[in-house]
Structure 1
Amino acid sequence: MAKAQIILPALFALGALALSSVFIVDEREKVLVLQFGQVKQEISEPGLGFKVPFIQDVVRYDDRILGLPTPPAEITPLDDRRLVVDAFARWRIVNLVDFREAVGSGGVDTAQMRLQNILSNAIREVLGAVPSNAVLSEDRTALMNRIRDIARREANSLGVDVIDVRLTRTDLPEQNLEATFARMRAEREREAADERARGGEAAQRVRAAADRAVVELTSEARKTAEVVRGEADAQRNAIYAQAFGKDPEFFAFTRSLTAYERALREGNSSIVMQPDSAFFNYLNDANGRAAPAAP
């Protein structure tokens, strides 16, 4: 009984000691085994691992690709036009020993802070050497690759690899947006005014040509009408002359009827003359002949 009381606690202690010396490495992580702060073992393959209990510690690090958004920052391109830029980087731990020595016990959080500074400096260096039009362009692959290469070179001492860098936003600062919009609006209004002026000038030319054509056509029509009317009057007069030459009495009678028609039209006009006036010769004679003229 006494031996059993001694053996059972010893077995439990040995079991606890054995369990504390075994750990599991997940496929999504890498592990460092530290002894008094010094790296004793690096494990990158998933499975079981062993350490010395109470002396060695296990530190786990994420082996997946991590994302790092950078805070918005103002940069000044080559043409002194300020822009607000932020980016997104993807990175991964590639050397656990260098990573541990560089960031210490801070781990991924410390590495993220240092990578942010590296990315911000790389962004300022690359975008500060090109005009703003290149930064605002849709094709910025070359610029992003240059930022990635600079950040990768600087981050190599941290034991990490910068896989990719993408510019997520490139905008004007708020205080410059109104001025930019006002300038764009003024340019569009000037272009619209130019278009309206050119349209008005073209319309004036078309209107002048149309007015000239109307005058020419009207003049030509009036000329033709006058010619036709003159020819018609000449022909009419010739017919009248031929007809009246055959019978002068008939000519005088016709002229008197025409005079009566014009003088006796409806209206407010009045004629005051003597009844025995020559004007009424054909009305006074019962046979419709003109009375002989007074001596």
Structure 2
Amino acid sequence: MARSQYILPVVVVLAGLALSSVFIVDEREKALVLQFGQVKAVKEDPGLAFKVPLIQEVVRYDDRILSLPTQPLEVTPLDDRRLVVDAFARWRITNVIEFREAVGSEGVRAAQVRLDRIINAAIREVMGAVPSTTVLSDDRTALMNRIRDLARREAAALGVEVIDVRLTRTDLPEQNLAATFARMRAEREREAADEIARGGEAAQRVRASADRTVVELTSEARKQAEIARGEADAQRNAIYAEAFGRDPEFFAFTRSLTSYERALKSGNSSIVMQPDSDFFDYLRSDKAE
């Protein structure tokens, strides 16, 4: 009876020690077995594992991809326009021993603080080397990849891998919006004025060329017309001279008819002359016969 009183507590203690020496590693985590703060074993495969009770302890770390949103950060691109940037990162623990040595007992919280500094520094470095137009463009994939690669190199010493970095917002500070919009408007107005001036200059050149072409064509047409008119007049005079040379009396007769036509038109001034004047030579009856 006395022995049973002592055996039962011993069995309970031994059972407790046996149970405390067994732990389960979930498939979503990694575990370190520590003894007096020193790493004694790494358990990365899911299932049962063992440790020395009372002496060793188990520290668990999440093996999944973790998210880290950054605080709004003000950066200055290459053209000195200040921008407010928000970003988030995806990361995971790849080496639990290095991770434990880097962050100590604070674990993921300390890692997030240090990663936040690393990512902010990478954002400042990358965006400080490009103009704001590149940062504000629709396609920022190249910028985000550069930030990710830079942060990944710096974070490797923590035993973690930065999988991705994404920029969620890139805006101008509120106090700079009005001034920036005014400057952008002035730049666009100046560009529009330059385009209008260049268009006006081009229009003047086209108009001057057209006017010069019109003058040249008109002058050439007038020249050809004068030549044709002169040739026609010469040909007409030659025909008249030939005709009048053949019959001088006919020439005198036609000239008199022309004079009668011009002198006897209605509305002309009255003239008084003798009937036997030479002007009426061809109107007298003897000449008419």
Same fold, judged at TM 0.5 (above): yes
Q: Is the 8 A contact 1:75 1:124 kept in 2?
A: yes
Cα deviation per residue 1:244-276 (whole Å; 9 max; x = unaligned)?
Answer: 42xx2x4443233223434555xx624534596
User: 1: distance between equivalents of 2:19 and 2:286?
Assistant: 162
Question: What is aligned with 1:68?
Answer: 68
Out of 194, 212, 216, the residue aligned to residue 209 of structure 1 is 212
Give the CA RMSD over aligned residues.
4.5
Which of 146, 151, 159 matches 1:148? Answer: 151
Contact 2:79 2:132 in 1 (8 A): no
State yes or no: 1:93 paired with 2:96: no
**Deviation, structure 1 residue 207:** 2.0
Which residue pairs with 2:235 in the alignment?
232
- Judged with a 3 Å threshold, the aligned counterparts in structure 2 of structure 1 residues 123 and 150 are, in CA distance, closer, same or farther, namely farther
Deviation at 1:93, TM superposition (A): 1.2
Q: Residue deviations 1:200-252, cap 9 Å, x none?
A: 2421441243034124303421331342133124213312421442xx2x444
Q: Structure 1 residues 103 and 180 mapped into 2: Cα distance closer, same or farther (>3 Å)?
A: farther
Aligned partner letter, 1:81: R
Unaligned segments of structure 1, at least 5 residues: 1-10, 290-295
* Aligned match of 1:161: 161
User: Where does residue 46 of structure 1 map in the other structure?
Assistant: 46
Conserved? CA contact 2:76–2:82, under 8 Å:
yes
Deviations 1:74-130 (CA, angstroms, capped at 9, x unpaired): 21245533334444433221343554572645x5355334321221123324544x3
Q: Is the 8 A contact 1:135 1:170 kept in 2?
A: no
Question: What secondary structure sits across from 1:161 in the alignment?
Answer: strand
Contact 1:29-1:64 at 8 Å conserved across structures: yes
Helix, strand or coil for the counterpart of 1:80?
coil
Query: AA paired with 1:272?
Result: S
Change (3 A) 1:270 1:15: farther
Distance 1:187 1:142 in 2: 36
Q: Which residue of 2 aligns with 1:8?
A: none
3-state SS in 2 of match to 1:269:
coil
How far 1:63 moved relative to its partner? 0.9
- From 188, 202, 220, the equivalent of 1:185 is 188
**Counterpart Cα distance in 1 of 2:53 and 2:239:** 142
Match of 2:267 in 1: 269
| Structure 2: tracts of 5 or more residues without a match | 1-10
TM-score (normalizing by structure 1): 0.66
Name the aligned partner's letter for residue 202 of structure 1: R
- Aligned length, in residue pairs: 269
